[in-house]
Amino acid sequence: MATLETRGLTKSYGKTRGIEDVTLEIGDGEFFVILGPSGAGKTTTLKSVAGLVDVDSGEVTIGGVSMNGVEPYHRNVAMAFESYALYPQKTVSQNLASPLRSGRTGRYSEEDQQRRIELVTTTLGINHLLKRFPRELSNGQRQRVALGRVLVRPADVYLLDEPLSHLDAKLRAAMRAELKQLGEMSSTTSLYVTHDYQEALALGDRIAVLREGRLVQVGTPEEIWHRPVDTFVAKALGQPEINLVDAVVDRGVLRTQGDALQVPLAGDLELAPDDHARIGVRPRDIELSRGAEPLEDHLRVRATVRLSERLGREIELTVDAGGVSLVAVTPGAHVFDEGQSVELDIPLDHVHVFAAPAGDDPDADSARLGAATVEQVSATSGRQQ
């Protein structure tokens, strides 16, 4: 157990940027998630902490001790590789015993080793595979063995590179729920890398969003979800993606094309008349109107259903609001007909306002300016996905 800090980690591969100026402060026992699309530099960050990548500049500190020039085997970190990296010539049992036999993670008697392996394989549901070789396992099983090789030993920091990515959906959900409860995991500082926003939101004490090697935002899941710093973070979280609609300030109101959405400007938004901006609304924040009267602090939107799909308990609606296409996910009981008119309510505090995209690219990411109402300092509403 230890704190983990990185300061200004920078690494490039030839002309390609790996990571740039990655600075993180991770508390003792914290479960910290790095979220980002592939190629964002997540694995490079992990390997820099492990000492497997020689960074161009920057420093890693574990437990207050600088790791500059410290060999990986002296750093006391354990890592689950995305590629598993199981020793092919060794059985599962021998793979798991490997960190216990090196002598650098503590001394373990033969019984100690057996007990630890037994414990961790039972938790991970792989204790019937101990005699098998990695080539005789499915990808999901290999991934659990790789995770087991981390959990079997105490370490200052656990580094987990997409440890759930190859499990099937059901097992992944189950493992996700269990992961943080696993004995060692709950008390060991962990750096967890994923491209799956649900994993990040569910597991992370805090989340860092990484894009093209740079940190975009660091914060609690609530902060990241409710106050994304820009459209990139907003789009990275949530499936279906957040609705982004171009709008113009006119007479103190942000209006979209055809006036379908009219967002009154709250006091803290610094927008002048005729300024362009983008309105962001998450599909799950759009509700079907229940009453005829518009609710207080809600936007009322009239729209026509273009597409209505049932996704399990929920319905995904694609609607057209005066030429603006919106996606909504509602817990509705019935599927709508194409062409049917609906009325939608959007709580104003869930309406995000982003700056207009700079330059000519209409899809360029832009910073968040605020919400449609004056924001509370702490976002207290429940976690949503």
Partner 1 sequence: MATELMPGRKRFTVGTVLADVAIVGWFVFSLFPIVWMVLLSLKTSADQTSTYFAFSPTLENFGTVLSAKGEALTSVNFSQALITSVINCGAAVIVSLVIGIPAAYAAGRWKYRGSNDLMFTILSFRFAPELMVIVPLFVIYNQIGLFDTKVGLIWVLQLVTMPLVVWILRSYFEDMPAELEQAALLDGYTRRRAFIMVALPLVRPGIAAAALLAFIFAWNNYVFPLILTGSDNSTVTVAISKYLGGGGQAYYNLTAAAAIIGALPPLILALTIQRYLVRGLSFGAVKS
Give the torsion sign (CA, 295, 296, 297, 303): positive
What is residue 27's three-state secondary structure? Answer: coil
Integer Cα distance of 92 and 147 in angstroms: 12
> Peptide bond preceding 240: is omega within 30 degrees of 0, i.e. cis?
yes
Integer Cα distance of 245 and 367 in angstroms: 14
Residues 168-187 within binding reach of partner 1 (CB under 8 A): none
Q: Does residue 81 interact with partner 1 by CB under 8 A?
A: yes
- Give all strands (DSSP E) within 94-200, no chain letters: 157-161, 189-194
Strand partners, 7: 59
Which range in 98-106, 168-176, 233-241, 334-342 contacts partner 1 by CB under 8 A? 98-106
Q: Does residue 139 interact with partner 1 by CB under 8 A?
A: yes
Q: Which is nearer to partner 1, 77 or 281 (CB)?
A: 77
Integer Cα distance of 339 and 336 in angstroms: 9
**Residue from 17, 25, 133, 357 that binds partner 1 (CB under 8 A)?**
133
Q: Does residue 72 interact with partner 1 by CB under 8 A?
A: yes
Q: Which is nearer to partner 1, 77 or 279 (CB)?
A: 77
CA 105 to chain CA centroid, Å, is: 31
- DSSP tag of 74: G
Q: Which is nearer to partner 1, 104 or 128 (CB)?
A: 104
Which range in 62-70, 71-79, 233-241, 335-343 contacts partner 1 by CB under 8 A? 71-79
Which secondary-structure segment (H or E) carries 317? strand 314-321
Q: Which is nearer to partner 1, 56 or 259 (CB)?
A: 56
Q: Which is nearer to partner 1, 71 or 270 (CB)?
A: 71
Q: Does residue 56 interact with partner 1 by CB under 8 A?
A: no
Q: Does residue 196 interact with partner 1 by CB under 8 A?
A: no
What is residue 91's three-state secondary structure? Answer: coil
Which range in 87-95, 274-282, 306-314, 370-378 contacts partner 1 by CB under 8 A? 87-95
Q: Does residue 135 interact with partner 1 by CB under 8 A?
A: yes
**Residue from 57, 65, 73, 374 that binds partner 1 (CB under 8 A)?**
73
Angular region, 188: left φ>0, alpha ψ -120 to 50, beta rest: beta
Angular region, 84: left φ>0, alpha ψ -120 to 50, beta rest: left
Q: Does residue 310 interact with partner 1 by CB under 8 A?
A: no
Q: Which is nearer to partner 1, 63 or 332 (CB)?
A: 63
Minimum gap (Å) between residue 82 Cβ and partner 1: 8
Integer Cα distance of 173 and 164 in angstroms: 9
Which residues contact partner 1 (rule: CB under 8 A)? 47, 50-52, 71-73, 75, 77-79, 81-89, 98-99, 102-105, 133-137, 139, 142, 149, 166
